[in-house]
Amino acid sequence: MPTLPSPSTDRREKRRLPAFLARRRYARVFLDVDWFIEADGCSTLGRGLELSPRGAFLPVARTADLTAAVTLFVSLPQRARLFKARGVASPSGGPKGWVIRFNEVDAEDLTLLGESLLSEAGLAAFPGLDRKFKRFAGLHRRFLRTSI
């Protein structure tokens, strides 16, 4: 006789993530740092944002949408250089802030961002690295060396 699933494992009662969270490849990491944005000949600055290698969420009370290309500068923690990225503003469902998708990021700036996100959030900032680490964590140390 087949057994019925317990009420706690019923798939209909599981909470599903919104579609935009399911599509996101990298999780955004909240950083309490200063940022500066330039768009359409005007600029805005603030403190605190959510950042990932592909984009950023700026939690500001907005009065209008950004329509043109934007340039974002971020003062990353314990770094002497500012992170700079060019991108476009995406609509963010409500008046809670701006979502910036990066189109152009220098390789040095991307490395700087990656190091900062790893130091702040660990492997959770890069799910692909986390999965790879867990898959190879059982191997002997000599197989995990990156240089000979």
**pLDDT attached to residue 114:** 86
d(CA 144, CA 80): 32
Q: Which residues contact 84 (CB under 8 A, 6 or more apart)?
A: 71, 72, 73, 105, 106, 109
Q: Is 142 helix (H, G, I), strand (E, B) or coil?
A: helix
Q: Tokens at residue 100, please?
A: 């910036």
**Average of pLDDT values for 78-101?**
80
Strands (E), 1-146: 29-39, 42-52, 55-58, 69-75, 82-90, 98-105
* pLDDT tops 80 at residue 18: no
Backbone angles phi, psi at 26, to 5 degrees: -120, 135
Residue holding tokens 């923690």? 77
pTM score above 0.75: no
Beta pairing class for 42-52 and 55-58: antiparallel
* Tens digits of residue pLDDT in 50-82: 998 888 888 887 666 666 788 999 998 888 888
Class of domain 15-144: mainly beta
d(CA 77, CA 47): 12
Q: Tokens at residue 103, please?
A: 């189109």
